[in-house]
Chains A and B, each alone.
Chain A
């Protein structure tokens, strides 16, 4: 038997071994029957010194407990279903995550619609990608009833035409959508990306046209 190991065992028996060493030795102690027997004899020595009379020092109590526990499921096996039950209590988490994703998608689409000029393929894609649910009236959008373009009772809205609207580059929008893709639905994401791809030449043409206009003015 290793003397250093026995010295550690003695210190562990007295709760005088550092916790990190206890972890390692506890692992070995639980598997090494020789070490366990020595540990048991240390307990007997203590019982004799404390004069624990009336107590049978050779009682097979540990063996009896061990035999009973053989028929018991291990605690790790018991705790698995318990943690599963605990997981069932958190049913609201996926619902909340879905709600959050839908909110982010709705805000993103409204923001993009406010930024894009109407009539472009990207704007059309955004209009089709807007999630179902109550439509919001806010900055940059006006109710259809105000414009008179829709029949009474219709609830959809059309974007307000803003002459000074800043055109967000398609690449930047694509990066934005990709970065937030985990919060948007696959259909909306696919629609947006395909819209960016198809609108790329149109945006480039618009930029060329603007350059042409500027150079003509000069």
Chain B
């Protein structure tokens, strides 16, 4: 299996003029990129603006992307440079704080402050989060272990198969079934939630 084949196939489509394929890349990496940019700026809205700028820069530079490195590695560099430039141009010092699962306290402080301008957005984000967590808790253990090893630990299917002592095909099936079970519940929130957001917006 060639690494990054998925991203590369989308990148090649964009390079041939298919803008819809770039949407898929944005959807896949937007959260990671915003989280990355939030190491440099306080405000989530500002982080989203910088992430947006990074995606657009990446799109414009895509003809020069040859696939020597993974797409995300390349995108990551663009986002870091964009964030640093944004900080410099606004004459601010970069703030190196990394919010993770172990720092709930700092999340509460910064997160609430950042979302204070859009409480509805915060509520919806919390709703999405609680729905996904509840769906994960309700999963059979083998499905839950497979999806967590994949998403949290970043293990490949082969590594998960070795860890769970089962064939790679079984891992693929378990991860898919876990996602489907979560997605069934998440879809309801998204369809209702996104509708609310549009009304509010």
B52 touches A64 (CB 8 A): yes
Interface 1/0 per residue, B66-109 and A, CB below 8 Å: 00000000000000000000000000000000011100100100
Q: Measured between C-beta atoms, what is the minimum distance from A146 to chain B in Å?
A: 63
Residue B156 at the chain A interface, CB threshold 8 Å: yes
A58-B197, A61-B30, A77-B17 given; A68·B63 CB < 8 A: no
Residue B140 at the chain A interface, CB threshold 8 Å: no
Q: Is the interface of B mostly helix, strand, loop or mixed?
A: helix
| Chain A residue contacts of B110, Cβ below 8 A | 54
Give B172's nearest chain A residue, CB to CB.
A11
B107 touches A56 (CB 8 A): no
Residue B48 at the chain A interface, CB threshold 8 Å: yes
**B-side interface residues, number (CB < 8 Å):** 81
Binds B, one of A32-40, A108-116, A170-178, A191-199: A32-40
A10-B176, A49-B136, A75-B63 given; A61·B115 CB < 8 A: no
A49 vs B101: C-alpha distance in the bound complex, in angstroms? 10
Residue A154 at the chain B interface, CB threshold 8 Å: no
A47 touches B31 (CB 8 A): yes
A45 touches B182 (CB 8 A): yes
Within A9-25, which residues are at the interface with B (CB < 8 Å)? 10-19, 22-23, 25
Within B98-153, which residues are at the interface with A (CB < 8 Å)? 99-101, 104, 107, 110-111, 114-115, 121, 124-125, 128-129, 132-133, 136, 147-148, 150-152
In the complex, besides A27-B13, A53-B107, 10 extra interface pairs with C-beta distance below 8 angstroms are A14-B6, A18-B1, A19-B9, A26-B6, A30-B24, A41-B190, A44-B132, A49-B148, A72-B19, A75-B15
